[in-house]
Amino acid sequence: MVARTMAQQRFCRQCGRRDDCQDVYQKLGGGKGPSLVSKAVVAFAVPLLFFIICLAVSERILAETIIAERLRTAAALVLSLSVTFLLILVIRAISGRFGKSK
The structural domains of the chain, with segments of one domain joined by +, span 1-33, 34-102
pLDDT tens digits for 30-60? 667 777 788 888 889 999 999 999 999 999 9
pLDDT of amino acid 14: 73
CB-CB contact of 81 with 51 (8 Å): yes
**DSSP assignment string, 74-101:** HHHHHHHHHHHHHHHHHHHHHHHHHTT-
The angle formed by the CA atoms of residues 82, 41 and 102, to the nearest 5 degrees, is 105
Of 99, 96, 94, 91, whose CA–CA distance to 48 is shortest?
A: 91
pLDDT of amino acid 97: 74
High-pLDDT (> 70) share of the chain, %: 75
